[in-house]
Amino acid sequence: MSVVKELLRTEEDGTLSFGNYELSEKTKLADYEHNGNLYKVKTFKEITKLERDGVFVYESVPGTGVFNFDETDDEIKFTVSGEDDAQITVEAEDGAEYKVFVNGTNVGSVKANLGGKLVLSVEINKGESTQVRLVKE
């Protein structure tokens, strides 16, 4: 479960998986339809970015593989893998506070900025996956 070779795919449970941090050159896939929206992914070893209908959804530096990405009004959850620790930014509700769970452990809270971006750092051990869950308080 390290990378998504096809760059972006829909899983059987309806979630999205995307990103390939093993690529040495920036690669993109656009106009991927999922639940009536068009998604675009840009990914390689330095960055992975996902947009929905032209609006920011996810970004990691360095690049990551993201699995089972799912978001609702109150929760964002996904599993991430990579070569090294990553700074992850996700679209969230403007100014809302979220509890952060990493591998099931509550590691504190973080507040989205007024632009609706929430930034967190995630420790990633090469070859392992890290589960991230953000729950709106």
- Distance between CA atoms of 92 and 117, rounded to whole angstroms? 6
| pLDDT tens, residue by residue, 51-93 | 999 999 999 999 999 999 999 999 999 999 999 999 999 999 9
| Residues 1, 21: Cα–Cα separation, whole Å | 12
- Burial of 84-103, coded b for 16+ CB within 10 Å and e otherwise, reads eebebbbbbeeeeebebbbe
Q: Please, which pLDDT band fits residue 126 given cuts at 50, 70 and 90? A: confident
What CA–CA distance (Å, rounded) separates 136 from 5?
32
Q: Percentages helix, strand, coil for the chain, rounded to the nearest 5? A: 0, 60, 40
Residue 45 main-chain phi, psi, to 5 deg: -60, -25
Arithmetic mean of pLDDT, 13-18: 98
Q: Answer yes or no: is pLDDT of 41 > 90.
A: yes
Mean pLDDT of 100-116: 94
* Confidence band for 127, pLDDT divided at 50, 70 and 90: confident
Quote the pLDDT of residue 1.
Answer: 55
Provide CB contacts within 8 A for 48, sequence distance 6+.
18, 19, 20, 21, 41, 42, 58, 59, 60, 63, 64, 65, 66
Q: Supply the pLDDT for residue 33.
A: 97
Domain residue extents for the chain: 8-136
CA distance linking residue 30 with residue 121, whole number of Å: 27
Residue 24 corresponds to which tokens in the numbers above? 């040495």
In this predicted structure, what is the pLDDT of residue 46?
A: 97
Mean pLDDT computed over 16-33: 97
Class of domain 8-136: mainly beta
**Tokens, residue 84:** 């090294």
pTM confidence score: 0.94
